[in-house]
Amino acid sequence: MNLQRDRSAWLQGPESVCQTPPVHPAQCRRFVLLGAPGVGKGTQAALLSAAFGACHLSTGDIFRAARTSDGRAISPAMQAAVERMRRGELVSDETVLQIVRERLGCLTCRGGFLLDGFPRTVPQAAALDGLLERENAMIEAVISYDLAEDEIITRIGGRRTCPVCNAVYHLTAHPPRVPGVCDGCDSALVQREDDRPEAIHIRQQAYLTSTAPLLAYYQEQRLLRHVPAHGTPEEVFARTLTALAAAA
């Protein structure tokens, strides 16, 4: 399977509909991806999405899309969220949950989902459980990507993203075909503002304080699978598939 999913309903909100209806895979896969910022969740999400057809649902991508939505008015809550993101701080649970609730259709879509960057706190995880329970939708597994902090810093330093289609590259590990240019849409690649050293430190602290407790939360639910995140994207992906097969 190599499915390209339209994420407009997730990125732009409920007023936007998917241009291409999801191809329903034989099995609807629903996963949560955990791991410190820069560990490679976005890269793995793209590979998993191509393999399983599940949509890559990143809350960070929603905030980045709002920031670059030229001309379209953004709400004061979204503006505050974008400011916090710039500084590397977490957006409030209230704002994140409001944004996710508005996109409930993406969580219940029969194409499945790969949640990346949400939930990020225990209250967000509890709220997600409540939403999914009401819709009779189950998370199949929670994958935690594990990597030493110095390697994470190296990865973040080389990360470049496409501001238009959100594709993620790395200067040495996963370079674009033409330096500085997105393979998918020819846009000029950029370094995320929150990948600057001062914001990285704040993000790593936020992960340790607010997100790491989710490991125990999902361990208790017997959903957690650890995947070592060193090596090439393909190696990490192969480990991910092995971990998921062992869980099935």
Sequence-distant (6+) residues with CB within 8 A of 187 are 162, 163, 164, 165, 181
**Which residues inside 140-199 make contact with ligand AMP, applying CB under 6 A?**
194
Alpha carbons 169 and 175: distance in angstroms, whole number: 6
Q: Give the whole-angstrom CA distance, residue 6 versus residue 99.
A: 18
In the window 16-45, what residues touch ligand AMP (CB under 6 A)? 37
User: Of the residues 67, 155, 159, 160, which is catalytic?
Assistant: 159
CB of 163 within 8 A of CB of 64? yes
Give yes or no: 155 in active site. no
Closest CA to 4 of 185, 130, 174, 171: 185
The helix (run of H) or strand (run of E) holding residue 205 is: helix 197-206
Task: In angstroms, give the least distance from the CB of 63 to ligand AMP.
Answer: 5
Is the Cβ–Cβ distance between 244 and 163 less than 8 Å?
no
Nearest to 117 by CA among 182, 40, 184: 40
Locate tokens 């505050």: which residue? 80
Please identify, using beta-carbon distances, which residue of 24 and 101 lies nearer to ligand AMP.
101
Is position 120 annotated as part of the catalytic site? yes
Residue facing ligand AMP at closest CB distance: 60
d(CA 74, CA 65): 11
Measured from the CB atom, is 96 or 224 closer to ligand AMP? Answer: 96
| Chosen residue from 43, 44, 49, 124 binding ligand AMP by CB under 6 A | 124
**Does residue 159 carry a catalytic annotation?**
yes
Spot the catalytic one: 64, 120, 160, 239. 120
Helices marked H in 54-148: 59-67, 76-87, 93-102, 104-108, 122-134
Closer Cβ to ligand AMP, 62 or 179, answer by number = 62
Catalytic residue among 29, 64, 67, 192: 192
Q: Of residues 11, 46, 91, 162, which one binds ligand AMP by CB under 6 A? A: 91
- Binding ligand AMP (rule: CB under 6 A), the pick from 10, 31, 52, 63 is 63
Which C-beta is closer to ligand AMP: that of 90 or that of 227?
90
Nearer to ligand AMP by Cβ, of 19 and 127: the residue is 127
Q: In this chain, which of 12, 74, 84, 163 binds ligand AMP, going by CB under 6 A?
A: 84
Q: What is the torsion angle, in degrees rounded to the nearest 10, for the CA atoms of residue 124, residue 113, residue 193 and residue 185?
A: -160
- Shortest Å, Cβ 103 to ligand AMP: 13
Q: Tell whether residue 90 is a contact of ligand AMP (CB under 6 A).
A: yes
Asked if 222 is an active-site residue, the reply is no
- Which chain residues interact with ligand AMP by CB under 6 A? 37, 58-60, 63, 84-85, 88-91, 96, 117-118, 120, 124, 194, 203
Show which residues are catalytic: 41, 120, 159, 192, 203
